[in-house]
Amino acid sequence: MKSPARTNPADRVPLPEKVSYGVIQIANSLSSSVPHTIGNQVFNMTLGIAPTFVTGALAVFRFVDAFTDLLIGWLSDRFQSRWGRRRPFMLVGLLGMAVLLPLLFHFGRDWGTFQIMAWFVVIGLVYYVFDTMLNVPYQSLGLEMTPDYHERTSIQAFKAVIAKVGIIAMGWMWFFTQLPIFADPATGQPDTLRGAQGLSLLVAGLILLFGIPPLFLCRERYYQTAKKGKKEPFIHNLKLTLGNRPFRLLLLMVACMQIPNLVNGLGMYLSTYYVFGGDQKSAAWIGGIGNTVSSVLAFASVPAVSWLSRRFGKEPVLRWIILANVLVAISTVFIYNPHYPYLMLIKFALAAPLVTGLWMLLPSMQSDIVDYDELLTGERREGSFAAVFSWLMKFCATFAYGFSGVILDLVGFDAKRGGDQAPWVFPVLIGLLVTIPLVVTAVQYAILRRYPLNQETAAANRAELEARRGKIGAG
């Protein structure tokens, strides 16, 4: 058994800086998730717009957003200013999102379907450009805060812990829209559209509260090194990034992780219409509890994942996490039960530590890949790697969001029938929630076994880089 690795004091990132980096993720999580978290509830469940239209609109956002990622990543790698490469982009992104988010759901209730969806798509497209300006440089910044193999995981651990605040809030977004203050004045019933409008205003304020102050505390330690590197044209830069073999394998794993999103959103429909017979408020309540339980358990699992990574390395721990996802998939068979609705909390509890571990280890592994790339190309291109990583996630999400609505239509789901769906609808949805994740898990495991970078190779790469260009500065 390996002993836990030690980090050189010079490589440690100060605690206030780690916390500051993590705090931005609260704003990032909330702002990026609002349209996708409550979009179906507003447009399909409340306004009666077909799910294919709704998921199609959400897919358009991700499709355009995915390609702007590549451009912003490349631009931020080349950008030079007295404030560094990343922070100016992040500031503009935060301000733009805070202004546009409240406009997304402020349309007339009496508008037609085309008018409503056109408003949502047009405002959303501009909104997600600003989201890219925040998110890609933010992810890039996390890749360049330290040269140490394990300290990189520690940074992501802080980010994962603090991000749970945003994730807990995300879990209660739908329930927030059902509060009495947003009820229809005429009927007294919950009005999800009014609730969404209030929610968007609240989140816009939180974006500014959590997003701007940390920009002054997080440092870019590779900035001086990056200024000396050659600046590749966009297309050649993209080819270099995709030509990196460890990165390609990591991308394949990420693509596999996103495939279950084809069916994961179906769980909300099973909860609402199968378990609770169409009662949105009860489904929102159990969803909020589940996400809170999930976040607490995820929070508690961060030290364990960090310790395991130091003792055994990132790749073995990631392999264990992938295998454990089998239990999560199998649990779907029995947790959706109208007689025992709280069984659904089991899946939240099982998935929480696993998802946390994935999003601690994968960004940390990207940092090791950037070192390997610098060894090959002589450039620091964190933005390009973060952008392609984000691009792939969003491209897969585009397909998943777009096709999930088609699945509902193909299966024969009809929101107007409430819990009285055709007899085959719910069994088919449960079957999809089991089989697709199981197949994906097997593929992920096979890919990870071919991944070439580990603790020893990362240390050798760092030593060779420092012998070539010296140690990094403070930034």
DSSP string, 436-469: HHHHHHHHHHHHHTT----HHHHHHHHHHHHHHH
**CA-CA distances (angstroms) from residue 388 to 32, 69, 190, 248?**
18, 7, 41, 10
274-317, pLDDT tens digit by residue?
A: 878 777 778 877 777 877 787 778 778 888 888 888 888 888 88
Residue 51, pLDDT above cutoff 90: no
Q: What is the pLDDT of residue 142?
A: 85
Residue 35 has pLDDT above 90, yes or no: no
When pLDDT is cut at 50, 70 and 90, the band that residue 397 belongs to is low
Position with higher pLDDT, 414 vs 452: 452
Percent of the chain with pLDDT over 90: 7
Tell me which of 1.10.260.40, 3.30.750.210, 1.20.1250.20, 1.10.10.10 is the CATH number of domain 16-469: 1.20.1250.20
Q: What is the pLDDT of residues 82-92, one digit of tens each?
A: 888 889 999 99
Q: CA 395, CA 59: separation in Å to the nearest integer?
A: 9
Confidence at residue 432, expressed as pLDDT on a 0 to 100 scale: 81
Who's near 475: CB < 8 A, 6+ residues apart?
84, 144, 219, 220, 221, 222, 223, 224
For the chain, the 3-state helix, strand and coil shares in percent, each to the nearest 5, are: 80, 0, 20
The pLDDT of residue 89: 93
In terms of pLDDT, which residue wins out, 397 or 18? 18
User: Which has the higher per-residue pLDDT, 376 or 34?
Assistant: 376
- Decide if pLDDT at 370 tops 80: yes
Which tokens in the block code for residue 10?
Answer: 């010079």
pLDDT at residue 474 in the model? 46
Q: Helices in 84-148 by DSSP H: which ranges?
A: 87-100, 113-143
Give the containing element (helix H, strand E) for 314: helix 314-335
The pLDDT, as a whole number, for residue 93 is 92
164-171 mean pLDDT: 72
**pLDDT digit string (tens) for 204-225?**
888 888 888 778 888 888 777 7
Read off the pLDDT band of 130 (50, 70, 90).
Answer: very high
Predicted confidence band of residue 355 (pLDDT cuts 50, 70, 90):
confident
What would the mean pLDDT of 337-349 be, rounded to a whole number? 82
Instruction: Give the model's pLDDT for residue 398.
Output: 65
Residue 420 has pLDDT above 80, yes or no: no
Q: What is the pLDDT of residue 3?
A: 47
**Closest-CA residue to 29 (of 169, 154, 230):** 169
Say what the pTM is.
0.72
- Element housing 250 (H / E): helix 245-258
Structure confidence by residue, pLDDT tens digits, 169-193? 776 777 788 888 888 787 777 788 8
Structure tokens at 383: 């933005």
How many Å separate Cα 55 from the centre of its chain?
18
* Tokens matching residue 330: 């199998």
DSSP string covering 359-425 = HHHHHHHHHHHHHHHHHHHS---HHHHHHHHHHHHHHHHHHHHHHHHHHHHHHT--GGGTT---TTH
| Tokens coding 282 | 């009860």
Q: Is the pLDDT of residue 132 over 50?
A: yes
| pLDDT band with cut points at 50, 70 and 90 for residue 248 | very high
Give the angle 155-144-62 at the CA atoms, nearest 5°.
85
Helix or strand or coil: residue 16? helix
Nearest to 200 by CA among 62, 64, 39, 50: 39
**152-163 tens-digit pLDDT:** 888 888 887 787
pLDDT of res. 230: 67
